[in-house]
Amino acid sequence: MKKDKNKEEVQEVLTLTSRILKILYVVIIVGIVFIVSVLLKEWKVFEFIFKIIKIISPVIIGLVIAWLLNPLVSSLSSKGMKRVYSTVIVYIVLISGILLILWTLVPIISNQINDLTKMIPTLVTDITNRINEILDRFANIEGLDIETIRTGVFTSIEEYGRNIVVSVPDAFVKIVTGLFSGLGQFVIGLLVGFYLLFNFDSASKHLFSFIPKKYYKEVKLLFKVINSKLHSFVKGTLFSSSILFLINAIGFAFAGLKAPVLFGLFCGITNIIPYIGPYIGGVPAIIVGFSQGTVTGILVLMIIVVSQLLEGNILHPLIMSKTLKLHPVTIIVSLLIFGSLFGIVGMVIATPLVSLLKNLIKYILMKFKLFDMENYDLASELEAK
């Protein structure tokens, strides 16, 4: 009996220690990310890095394209097809798909933007009327100067509207310039990606040749684990966002919302940002929905809630389960840190970057036996994928 009791006590201590180590592990990851990010920003390292990234952006685009398409090309090559032919076929399908999407969506979105622009005066009038209704309810409260509040509110709205009108021409020029610049970089990136793709294996071998033989197998396996998880994450996110775009666009159209495809697309794009992205994407649709009428607003709200329930309870577990294995708190904290440092781009890259860092730290802890990492095995991590 005494031995059993001692075993139970030891087991409890081990369980508690394991939990403490897990919490400490999360704190270490978040702490390192935060400290390094703040220091790099303080030393203006990011400014230099961003300038370099801007210059070599076509190469980065090419690398990303090659990395994403490599499994498809490798799959075709494994069936006896020459790699160059596999690359050409995959590229033809990719470019055809992009052109088809642009040919289908651009005219629709362009028309819907025009409709939405024409709707702005009505939207402003509706918001003004609703503010007046709300303020009128408090008109009988003694000691509350409603007219002063009303004047202050509408003065602020007028100033905000005036600033928007003034900034529209500059913003339009910047958007058009940015689109043409981005298009040019993307085309160059496609060419770079094509070259990298049919030389992907040789480039990988050349990269791994710099690793000492002592660590070669472990490092290569670590990269396979990270690569596999990031691939799954990207594919899962793109698929999930595409499904959400379709659900929301169709739902908004049935609800009678103006510019349903535009708002559906915005919801799909913002879904790339974990947890908070869907709420960012849903707000504009809800505002416009309620401006069209209470029924439309409620229907739009219901569609967004239902689509998020589907994404959170069906799509996410089905597609993204066992992908990154990050705790929700870790993801949210990383979003806050990267969002404050790099804005929207930071929020998009936060999750995969923290996942990469997590695997590197796990490997270091295992390699140097800093903590009890006996249960961590690189091969099993890869098999779990």
Residue 153 lies in a domain: yes
Residue 163 lies in a domain: yes
Task: Fill in the amino acid letter for 315.
Answer: L
User: What is the C-alpha to C-alpha distance for residues 85 and 325, in angstroms, rounded to an integer?
Assistant: 37
The model's pLDDT over 247-286, given as tens digits with 9 standing for 90+, comes to 999 999 999 998 899 899 999 988 888 777 777 888 889 8
User: What is the C-alpha to C-alpha distance for residues 185 and 301, in angstroms, rounded to an integer?
Assistant: 38
Q: Which residue has the higher pLDDT, 232 or 6?
A: 232
Residue-level pLDDT at 361: 76
Residue-level pLDDT at 246: 92
Q: Which residue has the higher pLDDT, 130 or 370?
A: 130
> Does 56 have pLDDT greater than 60?
yes
The model's pLDDT over 361-381, given as tens digits with 9 standing for 90+, comes to 777 777 666 555 445 555 555
Residue 110 lies in a domain: yes
The model's pLDDT over 340-362, given as tens digits with 9 standing for 90+, comes to 777 777 777 887 888 777 777 77
Residue 76 lies in a domain: yes
Residue 49 lies in a domain: no
User: What is the C-alpha to C-alpha distance for residues 300 and 249, in angstroms, rounded to an integer?
Assistant: 10
> Does 40 have pLDDT greater than 50?
yes
Q: Which residue has the higher pLDDT, 358 or 68?
A: 68
Residue-level pLDDT at 136: 77
> Does 50 have pLDDT greater than 70?
yes
Rounded percentage of the chain residues whose pLDDT exceeds 90: 10
Residue 24 lies in a domain: no
Crossing angle of helices 260-270/213-255, nearest 10°? 150
Residue-level pLDDT at 90: 92
Residue 263 lies in a domain: no
Residue-level pLDDT at 383: 47
User: What is the C-alpha to C-alpha distance for residues 253 and 263, in angstroms, rounded to an integer?
Assistant: 10
pTM of the predicted protein model: 0.70
For residue 67, which phi and psi values (nearest 5 degrees)?
-65, -40
Average confidence (pLDDT) over 96-114: 87
Residue-level pLDDT at 314: 73
Residue-level pLDDT at 368: 65
- Taking CA atoms, 46 is separated from 175, 334, 373, in Å, by 24, 17, 34
Q: Which residue has the higher pLDDT, 139 or 311?
A: 311
Count of the separate structural domains present in the chain: 1
The model's pLDDT over 188-202, given as tens digits with 9 standing for 90+, comes to 999 988 988 877 777
User: What is the C-alpha to C-alpha distance for residues 96 and 102, in angstroms, rounded to an integer?
Assistant: 10
Residue-level pLDDT at 245: 92
User: What is the C-alpha to C-alpha distance for residues 114 and 263, in angstroms, rounded to an integer?
Assistant: 14
- On average, the pLDDT of the chain sits at 78
- Neighbouring residues of 70: CB distance < 8 A, sequence distance ≥ 6: 197, 200
Band of pLDDT at residue 303, cut at 50, 70 and 90: very high
Residue 48 lies in a domain: no
Angle of CA points 287, 247, 124, to nearest 5°: 15
Average confidence (pLDDT) over 50-66: 85
Domain holding 104, by residue range, is 57-210
Average confidence (pLDDT) over 154-170: 68
